[in-house]
Structure 1
Amino acid sequence: MREFTVPPLATAPRVGGLADSVYDNAAADPERVALTRKDDEGQWQDVTAAQFRDEVMALAKGLLAQGVRFGDRVGIMSRTRYEWTLFDFALWSVGAQSVPLYPTSSAEQVFWMLHNADVTACLVEHEDHAMTIGSVIDRLPHLRKLWQLDADPVAELTAAGAHMEDEVVHRHRMAVTPEATATIIYTSGTTGRPKGCVITHANFMAESDNIVLRYERVFKSKAGEEAATLLFLPLAHVFGRMVQVAAIRGRVKLAHQPELVARALLPDLQTFRPTFILAVPYIFEKVFAAARRKAEADGKVGAFDKAVEIAVRYAEAQENKAFGTGSGPSASLRMQHQIFDKLVYSKVREAMGGRVRHAMSGGSAMERRLGLFFAGAGVIIYEGYGLTESTAAATANPPERTRYGTVGVPVPGTTVHLAEDGEIWLYGGQVFQGYHNDPKATDAVLHDGWFSTGDLGAVDEDGYLTITGRKKEVLVTSGGKTVSPVPLEERVRAHPLVAQCIVVGNDRPFIAALVTLDPEAVTHWLAMRGKPEMPPHDLVRDPDLETEIRRAVVAANTLVSQAESIRTFRILAHQFSEEHGLLTPSLKLKRKAIETAYSAEVDALYRG
């Protein structure tokens, strides 16, 4: 089969918009804790459903008082924080549309998005963002208002709207229909200008409601425990926005963390103690790497690696049982697993707060062995696949039959079709309406409701999808060999010392790679071997380090034929960064930009 459909679980609402859930939740259970936010001392403070409704209402009145009107577009340039969610639902309460801007966007990118979306007001986090917009404001004649979060615009707007009756907001809210635009999210864009994806209230409802119902064991609390999640994904990205909407609509306690780095995130996981998280593979890789480094520093790396082996075997045996190809873990394996649960797995879970038993992962591929390890350690990660144009997840692994290393089956209400060339096409209530002000680009990808993703995939006998690459990223060597770089790159990245890997070789005689290093892992590796700290340019020439990276490359080459294998590689002194225009805000490689920036290094790989 090349087409798979899963019927919807949620009924598509015929009236109303996303803000309605805030008011409905408060009416149904006003004292339920809806969100949690940090106070000035860094302590978590609960916000009830009634409090959140009142704050949304007060802010909505202030927005109206300061000239925001039904259908207006308001930019938001900020990291993930409580106020973003507050503004989103206040804007939706008055029928306005939010336009997320990545906080690391350049002045020209900001100009393009604000101009293209015809934004009339903008919320920024701090003065640097205000200055970025200020540098292009003379080219934005329709931008009338600029609010700055660190100047407390919530208080300013609340005061401005204090004279207004609640009924004015309710009249605006009642005029919102499911088909109305909720947001325009600009694709992070690995090539070219970002395109504005028009996403409706109905798109978000179809996505979040079906996922909450299908993954009830994730989004609902068990007896005596409230469901809670810590949102640390960028709210400028569709995955983060979907989590926000699903938490409010699914009545899950929601907290925010603005920094997607392990050193800031792990302490908040331990104090907030979520019951589930939604993340990108990078987070799980960091948790695993930190646990292994600690074990090695304590002289217990042998026991840790044995625990990893047992966890993988245990999860694999459970997977085989779920698919009817095995009887489950043996008595001996269960006993070993129980021992390591106390010694190792419980500590891994504690690093994530101690209560996490489920997680969802998207954005890029997760190595199968890593998913098996976490499942064996008591945290089941449901890997999925989606795009901005599909309002986040289009496929995901089902809770009762997770196949690690795949992105699962269609989420309810979705049809997945594989074209003859392997391209993935999607159809469902979450598929976007098109690109704002770009009918040519829209016509290129939307065909009678079907969205042609540009991604390539394969489906196994049970209907589970695996992403094999992107059509535009497939390499063709000068000898005519076609190579998808993603599987090779992901396998190289599985090595603890590797931060990033890009495979090159288009119109070249063979495949090669550029590799960057993880600084924390390298520092630990040097210390464990009694080597002194080295400047980056000396470090990359260290023969022992080169041997380690060569092991990662050899492991990757086992996935492919000799003609498709990485023949040579180069270790770079510095990571690819978003600041230098080499990564998208969602941490995807900008391949052309990297090959241009490192053209001398790429050319050197093919000399001689």
Structure 2
Amino acid sequence: MQTLADLFHSFPKRGDKTALVNRTGVRRLPVSYRELYDLSLKMASLLARNGVVPGDRVLLWGPNSSWWAVAYWGIIMRGAVAVPVDFMSERGRADSIRQLTQARIVLQSRFKPERIDEGEILLLEDLQYLLEGVEPIADTAAPAPDDMAQLIYTSGTTGNPKGVILTHKNLVSNIKQINQQVPIITPEFTFLSLLPLSHMFEQMGGFFTPLYQGAAIVYPRTLKPSAIMEALAEEDIYVIMSVPRLMQLLKTTIERELAEKGLSKVFASLSGFAQRLSKPQRAKLFFPVQRKFGKNFTVFVSGGAPLDPDVFRFWDSMGFTVLEGYGLTECSPVLCVNTMERQLAGSVGPALPGVELRLDGKEVVVRGDNVFSGYYQNEAATRAAFNAEGWFRTGDLGEIAPDGWLSIKGREKELIVTGGGVNVYPDELEAVLNKVPGVKESCVIGLDRGAGEEVHAVLLLDEKAQRPEEILSRANAQLDAMHQITGYTLWDEPEFPKTTTLKVKKFQVKEHVKKGAATDASGPGRDHLINLVAKVTGTGAAEIKEESYLVADLGLTSIGRLELVNYLEQEYRMDIEDSQIGPQTRVSDLRRIISRREKAGHRGHYRFWTNTPFVRALRMTADALFNYPLYRLFATLEVRGAERLEKVQGPVLFISNHLAYFDQPSLMFSLPRRIRYRTATAAYEEFFFGPDRGLIRLWKLFTYEYGTLLLNLFPLPQTSGFSGAVRFMGRLADNGFNTLIFPEGEHSRDAKLHDFQAGLGVIVKELGVPVVPVKIGGTDKILPPDRVGLPRRGRVTVTFGEPLNFRFEEPAEIVKKAHAAVAAL
């Protein structure tokens, strides 16, 4: 294998084996190696149609997904140069890179609030539709090893981007080196992809390497803890490519669960005892935790920043294997990694085969086929990156043990040199500060006030924290006199500015501290949360105050609430439900939810087991013996357009007008059996679980039990918790089941078709299934919605329309077209 094209041409022989899995939070969408190959060739053809020729740069700015992968391989097989941009980057940075590279086309995501709007634009999420009918490209690229494959833009302390040129030779060399050092990956492995594919650590370890070995990769849409734990529970994960901050977040999640169960002291005792056991014995001892990661979980691979030895020991004590590695984008990126035979806390392991590594003074310098040749159109930066002998200067300070294992002390550019000439490594001080109770996170910087740099701590505290002076005193008590922290600043935003690998952007923190901005983090324009709320509500940032009510003052709609939740999950990697944002929620409340990472209390009343074969058989029996005979006592049913259901293979979404309580059974008995018993109906949740008491409460609980079991109803909330219902519908669709909803949201009292709820557009967009419009007539004459007593006998008509396939439409347009389709019946 000499180029990435050689790797790509190995895909077809793997056939229907799963290559990629999208977990959107609603749907689970697998892609086979054959599908990846075919779609990528179609992508190359689509790029050619849009004027992309070999050598052109193509900007790729989106979250991890199978469509990112299809776009990437399409770029490569067109002979173009991929320019991946960090999805968390602001539009200004992405647009700057577009201009620097003169990108021919931009592939971006609809999940970004602000997008590039100049030049040729395609949305990644639209590729599934854009590629329909496109013929695979016949004239695929045949790149040479020294041809440029991609440009990765890094930012230094000033934030000015530099384009790292990576050739096919650089990338292929690193693929081979890694697989020599850690030869454990097989086609049975499944990787959980949590880091951005724009970052070379994830791209090399979690993209190229699994595809090279025929393994599978799972992509969750967000990095919130629940999405990660759900993926671990439902997918057979073997490997997680991680960064220290993410491993710390997972550690915190487990510790919080233990504390809630009163098991913290027991866990601490077992951890101490486990140090005397072998790794397999530790795994058995901590089986309850191991089980959360799946039966075949093999290894955490940590990179991107130094791993706190305490975090390493936390996972190691429970029998997990943690391979810490080290590298830089300029090195494709991996230079060192611990081995499966030996892992050492605080060390990044030995150099990979084919990588030469040594110290130049205290700086780590390297060379090898994986090391880049220079920065794109930046000769000055290229010259500065190599020493006189042609070794790449990493900018990292390190120590090499006698056995060749490397330890990284910190970045040379972040090293603090005090007025007394003492070198202070910020990472070491941050590790001490972060252990002081009340400190959520810290960032240590050097502030030069004219007599050498002062060691300055920027603190992110929780509400229970003691006074900052006491925190510094406790930290300094653990440091020697030459490394004391002399000042502090409190950071008032929910989090420090971070890269997508969760490293603090220290140059931004430093600039804000210098300007005094960190003490006034709530001002309009700079506050990230204010800007998000402004984007979703359409309100000017200057008009948004901490005491502004999101709904009453800022006009946050039900759909806007879902949009805001999606953005918050992406930006802050946290669990948040739309049920946490209500009419009484203020901006300050939202900031508190983010800061505390509060979990939602709404869990929903969903029963997927009602779709099992046994319960479906029970439902068939109940229909034959009771439900259908009772229905026929009162209704004469006429079905129109039944022939339109012959092409329905499922899953689909049925949408209907809503006249009375007889609507659901009328529609269900109109469906052929093959569809009827694979269809669930959304019902008004607040009817079942309202504030009623006494006999009415018991009656409604009975109707819930009867409805879920024998009518296959599930609750659809109207006021909060809507996102949970959408996820349930996604699970139905993944398992081949249809959903019936009444998008008016309530019965029509005048038999006219009323406006559809805006949430229909979100449901259709997220499910991505055909929509079948249905029109019901006559049920209001049998049992009007407000009538008490026995039904009257009458005629019911159920008319089915042609299935609708929505592709590029936005939610509001979907609602409009769906309403028109039902009205036309």
TM over 0.5: yes
The alpha carbon displacement at 1:601 in A equals 6.8
Paired residues of 1:199 and 1:391 also in contact (CA < 8 A): yes
Correspondent of 1:561 among 480, 487, 497: 480
Query: What is the DSSP-based 3-state SS (H/G/I as helix, E as strand, rest coil) of the residue aligned with 2:174?
Result: helix
Query: What pairs with 1:447-458 in structure 2 (closer than 5 Å)?
Result: 447=387, 449-458=390-399
Query: What is the DSSP-based 3-state SS (H/G/I as helix, E as strand, rest coil) of the residue aligned with 2:116?
Result: helix
Correspondent of 1:360 among 273, 276, 301: 301
Q: Does 1:51 align with 2:35?
A: yes
Paired residues of 2:108 and 2:115 also in contact (CA < 8 A): no
Q: Cα deviation per residue 1:196-233 (whole Å; 9 max; x = unaligned)?
A: 1011111111112221232122x236xxxx11101121
Counterpart Cα distance in 2 of 1:288 and 1:551: 27
Q: Who is 2:180 aligned against? A: 213
Counterpart Cα distance in 1 of 2:92 and 2:201: 24
Corresponding letter in the other structure for 2:15: P
Paired residues of 1:183 and 1:198 also in contact (CA < 8 A): yes
Correspondent of 1:237 among 193, 199, 220: 199
Q: Who is 2:543 aligned against? A: none
Q: Who is 2:80 aligned against? A: 96
Counterpart Cα distance in 2 of 1:111 and 1:298: 49
Paired residues of 2:246 and 2:502 also in contact (CA < 8 A): no
The alpha carbon displacement at 1:370 in A equals 2.1
The alpha carbon displacement at 1:410 in A equals 0.5
Paired residues of 1:513 and 1:569 also in contact (CA < 8 A): yes
Q: Does the C-alpha gap of structure 1 residues 347 and 392 become closer, same or farther in structure 2, counting only changes over 3 Å?
A: farther
Counterpart Cα distance in 2 of 1:363 and 1:102: 14
Query: What pairs with 1:90-169 in structure 2 (closer than 5 Å)?
Result: 90-126=74-110, 128=112, 131-134=114-117, 137=118, 143=119, 145-150=120-125, 152-159=126-133, 161-162=134-135, 166-169=137-140
Q: Does the C-alpha gap of structure 1 residues 592 and 188 become closer, same or farther in structure 2, counting only changes over 3 Å?
A: closer
Query: What pairs with 1:409-558 in structure 2 (closer than 5 Å)?
Result: 409-420=350-361, 422-447=362-387, 449-494=390-435, 498-507=439-448, 511-517=455-461, 542=466, 549=471, 553-554=475-476, 558=478
The runs of 5 or more residues in structure 1 that have no matched partner are 1-12, 138-142, 315-332, 523-533
Paired residues of 2:283 and 2:290 also in contact (CA < 8 A): no
Query: What pairs with 1:257-406 in structure 2 (closer than 5 Å)?
Result: 257-311=220-274, 313-314=275-276, 333=277, 338=281, 341-342=283-284, 345-406=286-347
Correspondent of 1:37 among 22, 42, 64: 22
Query: What is the DSSP-based 3-state SS (H/G/I as helix, E as strand, rest coil) of the residue aligned with 2:297?
Result: coil
Counterpart Cα distance in 1 of 2:178 and 2:314: 24
Correspondent of 2:214 among 248, 251, 269: 251
Q: Who is 2:57 aligned against? A: 73
Higher relative contact order (CA 8 A, sep 6+): 1
Q: Who is 2:67 aligned against? A: 83
Query: What is the DSSP-based 3-state SS (H/G/I as helix, E as strand, rest coil) of the residue aligned with 1:426?
Result: strand
Q: Cα deviation per residue 1:568-607 (whole Å; 9 max; x = unaligned)?
A: 54553334443xxxx3343333334313323477999xxx
Counterpart Cα distance in 1 of 2:257 and 2:284: 16
Q: Compare 48-57 and 359-368 and name the one that shifted more.
A: 48-57
Query: What is the DSSP-based 3-state SS (H/G/I as helix, E as strand, rest coil) of the residue aligned with 2:138?
Result: helix
The alpha carbon displacement at 1:397 in A equals 1.0
Corresponding letter in the other structure for 1:203: N
Counterpart Cα distance in 2 of 1:551 and 1:380: 36
Paired residues of 1:190 and 1:584 also in contact (CA < 8 A): no
Query: What is the DSSP-based 3-state SS (H/G/I as helix, E as strand, rest coil) of the residue aligned with 1:240?
Result: helix
Q: Does the C-alpha gap of structure 1 residues 95 and 341 become closer, same or farther in structure 2, counting only changes over 3 Å?
A: closer
Q: Who is 1:5 aligned against? A: none
Q: Does the C-alpha gap of structure 1 residues 278 and 574 become closer, same or farther in structure 2, counting only changes over 3 Å?
A: same
Counterpart Cα distance in 1 of 2:283 and 2:342: 23
Q: Who is 1:526 aligned against? A: none
The alpha carbon displacement at 1:552 in A equals 6.8
Corresponding letter in the other structure for 1:167: A
Paired residues of 1:22 and 1:49 also in contact (CA < 8 A): no
Counterpart Cα distance in 1 of 2:289 and 2:382: 45
Paired residues of 1:188 and 1:584 also in contact (CA < 8 A): no
Q: Does the C-alpha gap of structure 1 residues 179 and 63 become closer, same or farther in structure 2, counting only changes over 3 Å?
A: same
Correspondent of 1:572 among 466, 483, 491: 491
Instruction: Give the paired residue count.
Output: 514
Q: Does 1:586 align with 2:512?
A: no
Counterpart Cα distance in 2 of 1:494 and 1:252: 38
Query: What is the DSSP-based 3-state SS (H/G/I as helix, E as strand, rest coil) of the residue aligned with 2:301?
Result: strand
Q: Who is 1:321 aligned against? A: none
The alpha carbon displacement at 1:105 in A equals 2.4
Counterpart Cα distance in 2 of 1:56 and 1:116: 26
Query: What is the DSSP-based 3-state SS (H/G/I as helix, E as strand, rest coil) of the residue aligned with 2:340?
Result: coil
Corresponding letter in the other structure for 1:590: K
Paired residues of 1:270 and 1:354 also in contact (CA < 8 A): no
Q: Who is 2:796 aligned against? A: none
The alpha carbon displacement at 1:57 in A equals 1.8
Counterpart Cα distance in 2 of 1:435 and 1:39: 36
Percent identity among equivalent residues? 27
Counterpart Cα distance in 1 of 2:84 and 2:77: 17
Counterpart Cα distance in 1 of 2:51 and 2:98: 18
The alpha carbon displacement at 1:90 in A equals 1.3
Counterpart Cα distance in 2 of 1:74 and 1:256: 22
The alpha carbon displacement at 1:128 in A equals 4.4
Counterpart Cα distance in 1 of 2:371 and 2:500: 22
Query: What pairs with 1:4-43 in structure 2 (closer than 5 Å)?
Result: 13=1, 15=2, 17-27=3-13, 29-38=14-23, 41-43=26-28
Q: Compare 357-366 and 264-273 and name the one that shifted more.
A: 264-273
Counterpart Cα distance in 2 of 1:444 and 1:505: 24
Q: Who is 2:753 aligned against? A: none
The alpha carbon displacement at 1:158 in A equals 4.3
Counterpart Cα distance in 2 of 1:188 and 1:459: 27
Paired residues of 2:337 and 2:352 also in contact (CA < 8 A): yes
Q: Who is 2:628 aligned against? A: none
Q: Does the C-alpha gap of structure 1 residues 86 and 496 become closer, same or farther in structure 2, counting only changes over 3 Å?
A: farther
Q: Does the C-alpha gap of structure 1 residues 561 and 49 become closer, same or farther in structure 2, counting only changes over 3 Å?
A: same
Query: What is the DSSP-based 3-state SS (H/G/I as helix, E as strand, rest coil) of the residue aligned with 1:360?
Result: strand
Q: Who is 1:320 aligned against? A: none
Corresponding letter in the other structure for 1:261: K
Corresponding letter in the other structure for 2:254: A
TM-score (norm 1): 0.78
Counterpart Cα distance in 2 of 1:467 and 1:270: 34
Query: What is the DSSP-based 3-state SS (H/G/I as helix, E as strand, rest coil) of the residue aligned with 1:187?
Result: strand
Q: Does the C-alpha gap of structure 1 residues 433 and 402 become closer, same or farther in structure 2, counting only changes over 3 Å?
A: same
